Structure 1
Amino acid sequence: MAQTIASDLEYSFDGTRMIGRRFVPVGAGDVPGVLVIHAAHGLGEQVLGCAERVAALGYAVLAIDLWGERKQITNPAEIGPMLGAFNANPDMWMGRIEAARQALIASGNVDANRIAVMGYCFGGSSSIEFVRSGAPIAGAVSFHGGLDNVGDDFTKAGADARVLILTGSQDPLASAADLARVEAGMSAVGLNWETNVYANTKHGFTEPDRGPRPPFAAYNAIADRRSWSAMSAFFADLFAH
């Protein structure tokens, strides 16, 4: 595992300032890049820790600030309206991720032709949607993404893009019907995709149970460990070609 250097990285889209966190391996040249997208609560310590672990694998990483101004959502009542605003405005949703991609490239030490995206919960949905939008990225990984937020028309997706879906069998936000719908959409255009479904696993399985959680979400140590291994192997293969 490589040692990393961390620094805040500011960028903007349509007048909104976003404050991401950049991690790069010490002494790195131009290495593959990974965008890491947070869940509904915003860019907090857990996802920053995950981003640093990804960078330690040898990648230049930007933990993006999707909400802007490093906003943290602590009131559950605010989550639905925030997600709804992004679902209703895909240009803003995808535009903010694209701004992060460009900021990562401009920051240096990144191979602009080898960039992937990964995310948790809404960040997982965002990662698949970024592929679906036709963004110039190599691949995407979704950790317990809400597949109910993902469309199934992948005709704009890059022909060489690859997708890895990591989901729980008991996640109501990623029902079997939604999973089949998204997989069928990717298959229809010949996209290279794979799915890992973890038994007895609810939504948010990588997030430790700190304080009250909705009944459909719970940490699962096995799924957390196995999904991280799957993501690591996926990126290693993705960036080797």
Structure 2
Amino acid sequence: MNPIRTTTLATALGLSLASTGVLAEMQTETIEYTIDGTTFTGYLAWDDEDEGQRPGVLVVHEWWGHNEFARDQAEKLAAAGYTALALDMYGSGKVTDHPDTAQKFMQEATKDMDQMKARFLKAKELLQNHESVDGDRIAAQGYCFGGAVVLNMARLGVDLDGVVSYHGALGSPIKAQAGEVKAQVQVYTGGADQMVPSDQVAGLVKEMQDAEVDLTLVSFPGVRHSFTNPGADKVAEEFNMPIGYDEEAATRSWQGTMEFYQRIFAQ
């Protein structure tokens, strides 16, 4: 089924056209697409001032669902010169700000790995087919739940240049196998992340070494889960969750990601 597209304009700073008085360079599209009878909503962002095709990056949301934070990351990537698609792993309308509902959404999405892979590959296909994208240069980055998703896609041998996990779960029933993983892997985790304990970190390092995967892992001392999301502190207070935003870790992990993409896409 062909995606239904709603085109809007936005600036890299998120300002309206009326407030700037100039034509925005960033383009965004909300895309609806269907997989096995279920409708999903994605969000594309790219800078149409840039000429020619450029690498594409998939953004996989936290366990809250395809929300504003995921779309903001797509716009940041567009401002950095990429075309980004914030994809949807749950289905249209499945977005929440309550952890109990998020847990249910996540459990439903992760109960079938074939289903997860199909949803990821459909979004990858949509991104690769966009007119601004060089379909041979694709990466994926994910946050929390999304970090686990992109790592599992790498483990499954999905054709990606690289994946980046931010405060994502590092353990998995799927194990990377030598010669199967095509992506280079970059992981950012918090040293005080109670949801990603040190045994998961050590386990991932051994797994990737055994599979001969190009892995870079950065652990930020004293940093908690969800350190990239400025809204984490509010959630922590409201629901007594061991999470928190850390500006330095968020900045350093983004800078490291940009350097990673520059390197892998230049190869």
Match of 2:213 in 1: 191
Tell me the residue number matched to 2:89: 66
Structure with higher Rg: it is: 2
Distance 1:224 1:105 in 2: 28
Aligned residue number for residue 224 of structure 1: 250
| Structure 2 CA distance for aligned equivalents of residues 192 and 202 of structure 1 | 25
Q: What SS does structure 2 have at the residue aligned with 1:237?
A: helix
After TM superposition, list the pairs within 5 Å mapping 1:39-50 onto structure 2: 39-50=62-73
User: Normalising by structure 2, what TM-score?
Assistant: 0.84
Shift of 1:158: 4.4
- 2:18 maps to none
Instruction: Establish whether residue 170 from structure 1 lines up as the match of residue 192 from structure 2.
Output: yes
Residue of structure 1 in register with 2:168 after alignment: 145
TM-score where L is the length of structure 1: 0.93
Look up the SS of the partner of 1:43 in the other structure: coil
State whether residues 152 and 181 of structure 1, in contact with CA within 8 Å, keep that contact through their aligned partners in structure 2. no
Aligned length: 240
Which deviations, in whole Å up to 9, do the C-alpha atoms of 1:138-166 show, x marking residues without a partner?
11000110224x34511277454200000
Structure 1 residue identity aligned to 2:177: T
Per mean C-alpha deviation after superposition, the further-off stretch among 152-161 and 228-237 is: 152-161
Gaps of 5+ in 2: 1-10, 13-24
Identity of aligned residues (%): 30
Say whether the 8 Å CA contact 1:136–1:158 is kept in structure 2. Answer: no
1:116 has 2:139 as partner: yes
Tell me the equivalent position of 2:234. 210
* Structure 1: segments with no counterpart, 5+ residues: none
Match of 1:99 in 2: 122
RCO higher in 1 or 2 (8 Å CA, sep ≥ 6)? 1
Q: 1:155, 1:14 → 2: CA distance?
A: 30
Residue 151 and residue 139 in structure 1: after superposition, are their counterparts in 2 closer, same or farther (change >3 A)?
farther
1:36 corresponds to 2:59: yes
Q: Secondary structure at the match of 1:170?
A: coil
Is 1:20–1:70's contact at 8 Å kept on the other side of the alignment?
no
1:107 is displaced (CA, Å) by: 2.4
Please report how far the alpha carbon of residue 80 of structure 1 lies from its aligned counterpart in structure 2 after TM superposition. 2.1
Distance 1:85 1:60 in 2: 29
2:106 alignment counterpart: 83
Cα-to-partner distance string for 1:53-91 (whole Å, 9 max, x where unaligned):
011111111000111114212332222222222332101
- Native 8 Å contact 2:144 2:169 kept in 1: yes
Distance in 2 (CA, whole Å) between partners of 1:146 and 1:72 is 20
Q: What is the root-mean-square deviation in Å for CA atoms of aligned residues?
A: 1.9
